[in-house]
Structure 1
Amino acid sequence: MRRSLVTAAALLALAGSLGAGPGGADRPPLPDRLADTGGGSQLITAEAPDTGSTTGTVTWWERRGGSWTEAGSAPARFGAGGLAEGATREQGTSTTPTGLYDLPYAFGIEDAPAGTTYPYREVTEDSWWCQDNDSRAYNRWVEPRPAHCRAAEAEHLVSYGTQYARALVIGFNYDRPVRGRGAGIFLHVNGRGATAGCVSVPADAMAEILAWVDPARAPHIAVGTSSGPTAITRY
């Protein structure tokens, strides 16, 4: 009888030690495992299992009292082409760029959710996002669309009534745009399936994120995979 009790205790101890490993309950929250969080006290993470994935999880975090805590989470969708390293991504591949990015401003066809403090730009019939590599307005909102930004190489934002009901601009290739790298990468409301390179979440999650995100807390978004060269913890 005593031998059985000792064996049972040993098995319980082993199970406890396994639970305390990398996947255990005492594992630090994801922001603490990132190489960088952008220096603010709010962070959104968008994590996919691997570069071939088109689905994953978006989680929003806040830092209070020196600790990161989860503020919310939702299922996410990524590009139809999966994910690709942001520094070498190519335009037209329908891949979501991995990396750590700021969030310049929000926009939408619908009004901003109640409580929104983030800069929020209203979409009108004249609102376009220029993706024309030959235009000096490359990877910029233009209103109205200038002649040097061809309509065939731009998104007429109001035409995406579901996806751009509400959105956040992701600062990928934004400050100093590299032609051919990609333009118009957003966190927006889900459409019918995988995206053309953006990150998307359900409409209620997008509304919650916009009401939560605070410009005074310098929010960023980290996009990556669970492991490998594009692991979210590298950024």
Structure 2
Amino acid sequence: MRPGAALALVSLASLALLGLAPAPLPARMADTGGGTQLITAQAPATASTTGTVTWWDLRGGEWSATGSAPTRFGAGGLVEGTARTQGTNTTPAGLYDLPFAFGNAPAPAGTRAEYRAVTPAAWWCQDNDSASYNRWTDPLPADCRATESEHLSDHPTQYAHALAIGFNYDRPVRGRGAGIFLHVNGEGATAGCVSVPGDAMRRLLRWADPARAPHIAIGTESGGTGITRY
């Protein structure tokens, strides 16, 4: 959904000159997806592989932070989602929905999102030649090569719990990338996903409410203005 659309902000420096305290980050964004829940994933710069995830609630017309955690991004840093190339280990900046949750472990108590249990037959198809490109498949279809896809049960720690990120999902563009998730930390930077500690991932699953249309905005800090175009 709308990569980059969420990321134009009022400058904090301008607010400081006016003697005003900055509004919460979502209130300074051009687009938050239209719901009342938002996750922001901020990196200091496009080359960064670490940053901060914050989840926000809109109540009574005011955004407030509900929780935050350190996060990891792709080993290749961040790039505008519409310019991303598959296989570059970059995290796509932009605003995306969160179609469903999944995991090798049972859903945390209180999870309201659709939760798909990972079985030994569950894959994420990343084969550009497949009709199932950038889709969860269980089992792997005949036209999707296993060598070009991700066997979800092979990652019991990182995919203990996860949220699928709607990057390149509604109308997949071949070669742009597949299988971008918000998931549990592994040993280091990701292959393009956003990752957080396991406890934070469980908290996020208990927090996310599909009835409130949660989205995730991925971007960088720049000159103190919070999330910017990348």
Q: Same fold (TM over 0.5)?
A: yes
Q: What per-residue deviation string (whole Å, max 9, x for no partner) do you get for residues 87-130 of structure 1?
A: 11000000000000000000000011111111100000000000
Q: 1:12 corresponds to which residue?
A: none
SS of residue matched to 1:87: helix
Q: Is the 8 A contact 2:220 2:229 kept in 1?
A: no
Contact 1:123 1:157 in 2 (8 A): yes
**SS of the residue 2:116 aligns to:** strand
Of residues 103, 110, 114, the one that matches 2:109 is 114
Mapped to 1, the partners of 2:115 and 2:179 lie a distance apart of: 16
Instruction: Say whether residues 1:166 and 2:161 are aligned partners.
Output: yes
The runs of 5 or more residues in structure 2 that have no matched partner are 1-12
What residue in structure 2 maps to residue 179 of structure 1? Answer: 174
For 1:222, which of 217, 220, 224 is the aligned residue? 217
Partner secondary structure for residue 21 of structure 1: helix
Aligned partner of 1:55 among 38, 50, 54: 50
**In structure 1, distance between residues paired with 2:104 and 2:82:** 31
Cα offsets for 1:24-78 (capped at 9, x unmatched)? 9821110011110000000000000011000000000000010000000000000
Q: Which residue of 1 aligns with 2:129?
A: 134
Q: Which residue of 1 aligns with 2:208?
A: 213
Q: How far, CA to CA, are the matches of 1:52 and 1:88 in structure 2?
A: 15
User: Aligned to 2:175, what secondary structure does the other structure show?
Assistant: coil
Larger helix proportion, structure 1 or 2?
1
Question: Residue 8 of structure 2 aligns with which residue?
Answer: none
The one-letter code of the counterpart of 1:227 is: S
Alignment of 1:83 onto 2:78: yes
Displacement after TM superposition at 1:234 (Å): 4.2
Inter-CA distance 137–82: structure 2 relative to 1 (3 Å threshold): same
Which of the residues 136, 139, 144 maps onto 1:144? 139
Write the distance in 2 (CA, Å) between the matches of 1:33 and 1:182.
29
CA contact (8 A) 1:188 1:201 kept: yes
Aligned 8 A contact 1:99 1:232 in 2? no
Alpha-carbon distance between aligned partners in 2 of 1:226 and 1:137, rounded to the nearest angstrom:
35
**CA RMSD for the aligned pairs?**
1.7
Deviation at 1:147, TM superposition (A): 1.5
Name the aligned partner's letter for residue 166 of structure 1: H
| Percent identical residues | 71
- In 2, Cα distance between equivalents of 1:78 and 1:204: 18
Q: Distance in 1 between matches of 2:175 and 2:50?
A: 25
- Spell out structure 1 runs of 4+ moving beyond 2 A: 231-235
Give secondary structure in 2 for the equivalent of 1:70: strand
**Distance across 1 between alignment mates of 2:91 and 2:29:** 19
| CA separation of 1:25 and 1:162: change in aligned 2, threshold 3 A | farther
User: Which ranges in structure 1 are unaligned for 5 or more consecutive residues?
Assistant: 1-17
CA contact (8 A) 2:134 2:169 kept: yes
| TM-score relative to the length of structure 2 | 0.90
Q: 100, 103, 107: which one pairs with 2:98?
A: 103
Deviation of the 1:146 alpha carbon: 1.1
CA contact (8 A) 2:127 2:148 kept: yes
Q: Residue 65 of structure 1 corresponds to which residue in structure 2?
A: 60
Q: Distance in 1 between matches of 2:145 and 2:26?
A: 40
